[in-house]
A = this chain, B = another copy of it.
């Protein structure tokens, strides 16, 4: 392989599958959780905003750099406790190019701290277009004789509405580069049922079960034993559906958003896991990164927001591991 910038190429250790690397980190840290790095202006301590506005002006760059300070402090405070972070691309895109630059820096910084990175990008298009998203986020891009990993996430979330033409190119990159994806199956939001819960005439089952069936199929070529590199997103807010989907997708790791702020609790989540306590990873975003704004953690004060986040991670772990009886 030619010379180039390999910021996105990770040390794989012994694993040839990305999902095995995630499982190893979950077991090592006894932490089936991921922290969502979804910064918003209203979640950032005013002092941090003001400091950056002084340096960069009241600009998109100033706001983006406040996100960067915020993310870095939280990553430093929690990186020994968790296997992965999940930056939400929307929050960075909202700030235009300055935001995208911080999305990229956050990915690199988290990886340098030994964390896996799940890019919550929910992309999905067709053919060469979906391949372009997969290359840019998970894969390699050749320019002349050089090779680059443009964004360098380890996992990405993918939207299945356009079918195999959308998901297939991501699966190809997973196979080629030992990366992973999580496909939206049953999302955590109140209106997820509008289309996802529609009962199909052919199967008598909801649409999300057909998507689940395809997720298992898409994953086939990426698995050795156990779980495949093609995971699923199933919201914490739908525990009954989670139980059913755990059964329907025996080789599929489940990324579970909606814990905390959206209403899910550890007790509701036990059925997302397999009998070994694996098979699921639970995300919390606002509940962790903006913990200092919640009554429970107000004692930390805005200046110690990252310590509040650390305590919130410890409490979340106690809740989930307690519910799992470990």
**What's the least CB distance linking A137 to chain B, in Å?**
7
Contact with B along A88-127 (1 / 0, CB 8 A): 1011011111011100100000000000000000111111
Q: Of B104, B202, B210, which contacts A97 at CB under 8 A?
A: B104
**What's the least CB distance linking A264 to chain B, in Å?**
14
Whether A136 sits at the interface, judged by CB under 8 Å, is: yes
Contacts of A190 in B (CB 8 A): 165
Closest to A101 in B: B97
Q: Of B38, B101, B136, B162, which contacts A184 at CB under 8 A?
A: B162
**What's the least CB distance linking A123 to chain B, in Å?**
7
**A163/B195 contact (C-beta < 8 A), A60-B141, A150-B94 known:** yes
Whether A300 sits at the interface, judged by CB under 8 Å, is: no
Measured as residues with beta carbon below 8 angstroms from the partner, the interface class of chain A is 35 or more
Contact B94 A141 (CB under 8 A): yes
**A53/B193 contact (C-beta < 8 A), A135-B94, A151-B96, A159-B161 known:** no
Contact B202 A200 (CB under 8 A): no
Contacts of A96 in B (CB 8 A): 104, 136, 141, 148, 150-151
Contact A94 B162 (CB under 8 A): no
Contact B192 A163 (CB under 8 A): yes
Contacts of A104 in B (CB 8 A): 96-97
**What's the least CB distance linking A54 to chain B, in Å?**
11
Whether A187 sits at the interface, judged by CB under 8 Å, is: yes
Contacts of A94 in B (CB 8 A): 132-133, 135-136, 141, 150
Contact A188 B136 (CB under 8 A): no
A135 to B63, CA, bound (A): 15
Q: Of B97, B124, B143, B194, which contacts A63 at CB under 8 A?
A: B143
Q: Of B161, B164, B188, which contacts A196 at CB under 8 A?
A: B161
Whether A1 sits at the interface, judged by CB under 8 Å, is: no
Whether A55 sits at the interface, judged by CB under 8 Å, is: no
A223 to B141, CA, bound (A): 43
Most chain B CB atoms below 10 A, which of A96, A137, A159: A96
Contact with B along A298-322 (1 / 0, CB 8 A): 0000000000000000000000000
Contacts of A27 in B (CB 8 A): none
Whether A62 sits at the interface, judged by CB under 8 Å, is: yes
**A193/B163 contact (C-beta < 8 A), A104-B97, A130-B90, A148-B60 known:** yes
Contacts of A124 in B (CB 8 A): 122, 159
Q: Of B59, B130, B145, B191, which contacts A164 at CB under 8 A?
A: B191
Task: List 13 contacting pairs A-B, 8 Å CB cutoff, sorted by A.
Answer: A40-B128, A58-B143, A90-B123, A90-B130, A91-B132, A94-B133, A99-B150, A160-B161, A162-B184, A162-B187, A163-B189, A163-B196, A166-B189
| CB-based closest 9 A-B pairs | A96-B150, A58-B144, A163-B191, A163-B194, A126-B189, A90-B132, A94-B132, A94-B136, A165-B189
Chain A interface (Cβ within 8 Å of chain B)?
A: 38, 40-41, 49, 53, 58-60, 62-63, 88, 90-91, 93-97, 99-101, 104, 122-130, 132-133, 135-137, 141, 143-146, 148, 150-151, 159-166, 184, 187-196, 198-202, 204, 207, 210-211, 214
